[in-house]
């Protein structure tokens, strides 16, 4: 079974006849919009397909499907898809609104990185609720990872500071930082992230750094609106798209790639520790159609 078998298909071609006529393109566009690709992205991709069909003298729906697959793959291949943890102690910040799956994703990625032989440190900088640190602690215990935390209400940047000292002292390879999911005030969020950034610049100047925005794929176009706000407030280097196992329509990945120009780096398809995978544009495009 493939990793994306749980993914709801766009099913672009199933219902159509064998003619590559205007009806075909109209229905394709509609299928893409229904699959959460977004209007602009859908129109753009259908136009690309029309051009390819013309240029490559494509005659059959089956060949059009292959061309469409290539178009989707191209679109999804924005930026560097691999997590940059080259210069230790590398720091990965996880941001996003409540409930999208930040803490769960950290647990899963921590487990994977440890499996690759890396020394991983978790940092509980979501100090907004005591339960947040407790939840991260459970994930740390599951994979036997070190965790740095403070009391509820502590300054997140202070927890990050502690984590940088611990990372140096314990020679950690990667620090995964859990943050609070508040976005009701963009200025607030920006201030908090800037403060964390300054601590990292000062304490770990040579370290690799990533800021991953975690997005719940089931929120569709709303997720995209969130993503745009976060992109403005914080320099996002990648996206984690979670809950692709549920009612989510994978087309949202297309809209993200097109409208944000930020690579999806991981995909989540469940609540289990192994239900996360580095995002592969080719595999995802094939699974979608």
Ligand X SMILES: Nc1nc2c(ncn2[C@@H]2O[C@H](COP(=O)(O)OP(=O)(O)O)[C@@H](O)[C@H]2O)c(=O)[nH]1
Binding site residues, ligand X, CB under 6 A: 96, 98-104, 181, 214, 242-243, 245-246, 268-271, 275
7 makes contact, choosing from ligand X, Mg ion, none, with CB < 5 to 8 Å by partner type, with: none
Interacting residues toward Mg ion by CB under 5 A: 102-103, 132
Quote the least distance from Cβ 278 to ligand X, whole Å.
14
Report the alpha-carbon distance of residue 62 to residue 71 in Å, rounded.
Answer: 14
Quote the least distance from Cβ 226 to Mg ion, whole Å.
15
Residue 53 or 133: the one with the smaller Cβ distance to ligand X is: 133
**CB-based closest residue to Mg ion:** 103
Residue 38 or 101: the one with the smaller Cβ distance to Mg ion is: 101
**CB-based closest residue to ligand X:** 268
Quote the least distance from Cβ 219 to Mg ion, whole Å.
16
Quote the least distance from Cβ 268 to ligand X, whole Å.
3
219 makes contact, choosing from ligand X, Mg ion, none, with CB < 5 to 8 Å by partner type, with: none
Residue 71 or 97: the one with the smaller Cβ distance to ligand X is: 97
CA neighbor of 125 nearest in space, from 195, 186, 187? 195
CA neighbor of 237 nearest in space, from 279, 265, 205? 265
Quote the least distance from Cβ 272 to ligand X, whole Å.
9
What is the rounded radius of gyration, in angstroms, for the C-alpha atoms of the chain? 20
Quote the least distance from Cβ 139 to Mg ion, whole Å.
10
104 makes contact, choosing from Mg ion, ligand X, none, with CB < 5 to 8 Å by partner type, with: ligand X
Residue 88 or 251: the one with the smaller Cβ distance to ligand X is: 251
Residue 46 or 234: the one with the smaller Cβ distance to ligand X is: 234
Residue 44 or 192: the one with the smaller Cβ distance to Mg ion is: 192
């Amino acid at each position: 079974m493939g990793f994306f078998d749980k993914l709801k298909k766009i099913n672009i071609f199933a219902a159509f006849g064998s003619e590559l006529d205007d009806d075909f393109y109209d229905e394709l566009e509609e299928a893409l919009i229904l699959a959460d690709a977004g209007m602009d992205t859908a129109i753009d991709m259908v136009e690309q397909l029309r051009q390819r069909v013309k240029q490559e003298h494509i005659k059959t729906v089956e060949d059009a499907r292959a061309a469409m697959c290539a178009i989707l793959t191209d679109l999804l291949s924005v930026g560097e898809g691999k997590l940059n943890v080259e210069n230790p102690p590398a720091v990965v910040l996880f941001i996003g609104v409540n409930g999208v799956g930040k803490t769960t994703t950290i647990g899963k990625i921590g487990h994977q990185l440890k499996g690759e032989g890396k020394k991983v440190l978790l940092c509980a900088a979501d100090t907004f609720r005591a339960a947040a640190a407790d939840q991260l602690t459970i994930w740390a215990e599951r994979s036997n990872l070190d965790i740095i935390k403070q009391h509820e209400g502590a300054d997140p940047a202070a927890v990050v500071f502690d984590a940088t000292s611990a990372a140096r002292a314990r020679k950690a390879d990667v620090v995964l930082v859990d943050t609070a999911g508040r976005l009701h005030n963009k200025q607030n969020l920006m201030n908090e992230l800037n403060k964390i950034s300054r601590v990292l610049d000062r304490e770990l100047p040579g370290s690799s750094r990533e800021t991953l925005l975690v997005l719940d794929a089931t929120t569709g176009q709303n997720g995209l609106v969130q993503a745009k706000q976060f992109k403005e407030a914080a320099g996002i280097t990648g996206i984690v798209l979670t809950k692709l196992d549920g009612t989510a329509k994978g087309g949202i990945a297309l809209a993200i790639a097109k409208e944000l120009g930020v690579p999806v780096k991981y995909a989540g398809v469940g609540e289990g520790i192994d239900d996360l995978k580095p995002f592969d544009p080719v595999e995802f495009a094939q699974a979608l159609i």
